[in-house]
Amino acid sequence: MSRIALLPEAVACQVAAGEVVERPASVVKELVENSLDAGATRVEVLIRKGGNSSIRVVDNGCGMDRDDALLCLERHATSKIRTGADLMAIHTLGFRGEALPSIASVSRFRLATREHGALAGTEVLVSGGKLETVRDCGEAEGTQIEVRSLFYNLPARRKFLRTENTEASHVEHVLYLQAIGHPHIGFVFLSDDRLVYQLPPGQSLRERIRDLAGVAMVSELLEVSDEEVAGIRVRGFIGRAGVSRSSRQQQILFLNGRPIENSTINFALREGYHTALMKGQHPVTFLFLDMDPAAVDVNVHPAKREVRFRDPAHVREVIVEITRRTLETDRASWTKTFTAPEPRRITVEDHTIPLPLPAEPLALRREWTMPFPPAAPSPAPQPSQAAEPLPEFVAPPKPPDPPPPPAAAPRPANDFKIIGILGRLYIIMENASGLVLVDQHAAHERILFEEMSRRMEKDGVPTQRLLLPITLHVPPKDADWLEQHLDVLNRAGIGLEPFGGGTFKIDALPQFLKADDPPQMLRDMIDELRETSQQTSKLRLGEDMIAKTVCRHAVKANDVLREPECLRLIQDLLACELPYCCPHGRPTMIQLSYAELEKKFGRKA
Ligand code: ADP
Ligand code: MG
């Protein structure tokens, strides 16, 4: 007797449903995608008890005639592809023809649909995959689908549903993604009769983000200039340098209109941000990629969250480049705020009651109003014993007249005014927008880092030869890594030569490095860098190394800086490519605007 039998259709659907329908949020996702594919301009979603009790999606899309309303409940029935070749280039969100029959097989399902201009619509009722009723109905044009008692016929699955709140938050996230992804479509979301949001159709992406994520979020974002690079169009917004979150929740990516998760892009973003992102943090993005559908496979997983790129290296390059470029655009707007302060100061004539100003009322207008520490104690002991002179950036004290113009972008000295130093750490400045606080240590780290990276790219970091070479013994795994990365290490100023058998000779170290125990330092560094090297390019690895070591050499929090040094530091900082955060992604400057001050002092509501 043969043992194999074809599964009854209803059971086959339930099996398929296991993959497509995991929870209420997956139902909402499938139904909303269908509405979008149907050309709807308005989608309304209502859930009860987190969707566990009921889910209703109403759209004003094309609707279906009676035949289609019945056919759409058959497995592998779709209007979106016709041939195997169509699979190579998918332009719609759906294509598998699985969602409706799967959902209908595990719920009490009602479909009411009416084509535009049709006299009557069709209503179809299905329970647990069994067709119960088909009749005419008088609903509005478009399609309504109601899904009640999800998994009522699969108690094992029903048990896995979480609390109403948890399920509701999953639904909300799914809708959030769809609403961000389609700002031109109007969305209404109701949960247990409470209006969660109502988003008008025809919004711009910026307006949509503002409505869903808040004004504060919008102010943290930079717009990606909408352009096509080598077949990939990238647009949207990414967080400014230093803006990050501890989870990936706000790292939103769309590919050809579909929200996706993709490790190639995650790594590329991380690399693009590089030093502008704190360790363990994730960037904030609302990034839209559009490319030839043939260059990407979306048929990887039934839920279609994952995609496979035909040429991941190319995608990565484009994302890295665009991220870098976008972050750098912010530099222009930052430096713009550092223009000469407007004369906002109180002068005696402005007041009928003269203020008790010191003898010289214009004293406040002078460049340096707060006494700086006396010039006597030299801040950083100058290592005169070094064989070669140290590079210029480690010896900042130089008289400011004429102020040494930073190499990259000369800028008049009165762009900002230094007022003083707070707690031996924060430089207090005034600029056109208000008050600026600069973390001198973080600022110096950034300057050193960029200087070093530039040198590394050009002709390698300046090194200091060791009088007596050091030998380093490492285990085979480390030896292998070191040999593979010798060129980067050499460029980064570490003179390393393999002797075979896990032995290396170190005969030079970067000038800026002050390591007491170079072999130990190298061992530590190998450990740390090996981890990063799996994700980033070789050049970035060198930068990572510099970022890690630079910190030890930068002006320390408690080093006392005198006025010319401060001025020089700020000028050098402003000439950096990413002046607003240190190589570890922490901010270097904080701006407190006049508006914020006025608010704090209660001058403005
Ligand atoms: P797929 O979306 O993969 O084609 P579905 O099972 O989700 O499969 O839907 C089957 C078909 O039903 C779709 O191809 C589409 O023609 C039709 N359909 C589903 N939802 C709607 C809707 N909201 N409006 C119009 N047609 C719809
Ligand atoms: Mg579908």
What CATH number is attached to the domain comprising 131?
3.30.565.10
Pick the atom of ligand 1 nearest to 92's CA.
2
Residues 90 and 31 reside in one and the same domain: yes
- Domain membership of residue 256 (yes or no) is yes
Residues 455 and 506 reside in one and the same domain: yes
Round to whole Å and give the CA distance between 414 and 392: 23
Residues 327 and 434 reside in one and the same domain: no
- Ligand at minimal distance from the CA of 68 is 1
Q: Residue 499: its pLDDT value, please?
A: 86
Round to whole Å and give the CA distance between 583 and 210: 30
Pick the atom of ligand 1 nearest to 102's CA.
6
Q: Residue 377: its pLDDT value, please?
A: 39
Percent of the residues in the chain that have a pLDDT greater than 90, as a whole number = 33
- Domain membership of residue 316 (yes or no) is yes
457-468: pLDDT as tens digits:
777 777 888 888
Q: 563-574 and 440-458 are packed helices; what angle lies between their axes, rounded to 10 degrees?
A: 50
Q: Residue 461: its pLDDT value, please?
A: 76
- Domain membership of residue 209 (yes or no) is no
Picking from 170, 199, 228, the residue at the C-terminal end of a domain is: 199
Most confident of 40-54, 218-232, 419-433: 40-54
Q: Residue 25: its pLDDT value, please?
A: 95
CATH code where residue 259 lies: 3.30.230.10
| Ligand 2 center from residue 206 Cα (angstroms) | 28
Residues 184 and 310 reside in one and the same domain: no
In eight-state DSSP terms, residue 173 is: H
Q: Closest Cα to residue 586, out of 393, 445, 423, 421?
A: 445
Residue partners of 544: CB distance under 8 A and separation at least 6: 529, 532, 536
Show the ligand 1 pocket: residues with CB < 6 angstroms: 30, 34-35, 38, 59, 61-64, 72, 77-80, 94-100, 143
Q: Mean pLDDT throughout 437-442?
A: 89
How far is CA 29 from each of CA 35, 55, 72, 258, 326, rounded to the nearest angstrom?
Answer: 10, 11, 17, 11, 31
Residues 602 and 480 reside in one and the same domain: yes
Given a cut of 60, whether residue 130 has pLDDT beyond it is yes
- Domain membership of residue 56 (yes or no) is yes
- Domain membership of residue 128 (yes or no) is yes
472-498: pLDDT as tens digits:
888 887 888 888 888 878 887 888 888
Q: Residue 202: its pLDDT value, please?
A: 95
Residues 305 and 166 reside in one and the same domain: no
Q: Mean pLDDT throughout 1-6?
A: 83
Residues 50 and 188 reside in one and the same domain: yes
- Ligand at minimal distance from the CA of 38 is 1
Higher-confidence position of 297 and 437: 437
Q: 164-181 and 24-37 are packed helices; what angle lies between their axes, rounded to 10 degrees?
A: 20
- Which residue has 């800086």 as its token pair? 561
Mutate to test the pocket of ligand 1, among 58, 72, 80, 301 (most ligand atoms within 8 A of CB): 72
At position 310, the amino acid (one-letter code) is: R
Strands 285-291 and 232-239: antiparallel
Q: Is the dihedral of CA 556, 577, 452, 541 positive or negative?
A: positive
Residues 333 and 480 reside in one and the same domain: no
Higher-confidence position of 128 and 297: 128
**Number of domains comprising the chain:** 3
| Ligand 1 center from residue 102 Cα (angstroms) | 12
- Domain membership of residue 497 (yes or no) is yes
Least confident of 279-283, 453-457, 553-557: 553-557
- Domain membership of residue 395 (yes or no) is no
Given a cut of 70, whether residue 258 has pLDDT beyond it is yes
Given a cut of 60, whether residue 167 has pLDDT beyond it is yes
Report the phi/psi class of residue 461: left, alpha or beta, with left for phi > 0 and alpha for psi in -120 to 50. beta
Q: Is the dihedral of CA 507, 509, 514, 515 positive or negative?
A: negative
Q: Mean pLDDT throughout 444-465?
A: 82
| Ligand 1 center from residue 69 Cα (angstroms) | 9
526-551: pLDDT as tens digits:
777 776 665 556 666 677 777 776 66
Residues 324 and 264 reside in one and the same domain: yes
- List the structure tokens of 402: 């004429």
349-405: pLDDT as tens digits:
333 333 333 333 322 333 333 334 433 333 333 333 333 433 333 334 444 444 443
Residues 41 and 176 reside in one and the same domain: yes
Contact 129, 105 (CB under 8 A): yes
- Which residue has 């998994």 as its token pair? 151
Higher-confidence position of 531 and 569: 569
Picking from 337, 361, 396, the residue at the C-terminal end of a domain is: 337
Residues 131 and 231 reside in one and the same domain: no
Q: In 337-453, where do the E strands start and end?
A: 417-422, 426-431, 434-439
Residues 287 and 318 reside in one and the same domain: yes
Round to whole Å and give the CA distance between 183 and 203: 5
Higher-confidence position of 195 and 563: 195
Q: Residue 595: its pLDDT value, please?
A: 87
Q: Residue 38: its pLDDT value, please?
A: 95
Position 423 confidence tier, pLDDT thresholds 50, 70, 90: confident
Q: Residue 538: its pLDDT value, please?
A: 62
What residue owns the CA closest to ligand 1's atom 2? 94
Task: Record the pTM.
Answer: 0.69
Q: Residue 9: its pLDDT value, please?
A: 79
SS3 457: helix
SS3 217: helix
- Domain membership of residue 564 (yes or no) is yes
- Which residue has 């070749």 as its token pair? 85
Picking from 273, 306, 337, the residue at the C-terminal end of a domain is: 337
At position 141, the amino acid (one-letter code) is: E
Higher-confidence position of 199 and 390: 199
Contact 98, 302 (CB under 8 A): yes
Range of the domain at 74: 9-199
- List the structure tokens of 291: 């490319």
- List the structure tokens of 531: 């981890």
Higher-confidence position of 563 and 142: 142
| Ligand 2 center from residue 298 Cα (angstroms) | 14
Which of 384-390's residues contact partners 24+ apart within 8 Å by CB, and which partners? Answer: 386/464, 386/511, 387/464, 387/465, 388/462, 388/464, 388/511, 390/511, 390/512
Q: In 396-489, where do the E strands start and end?
A: 417-422, 426-431, 434-439, 463-473
CATH code where residue 516 lies: 3.30.1540.20
Position 278 confidence tier, pLDDT thresholds 50, 70, 90: confident
Q: How many CA atoms lie within 13 A of 347 on its CB side?
A: 6
Pick the atom of ligand 1 nearest to 95's CA.
3
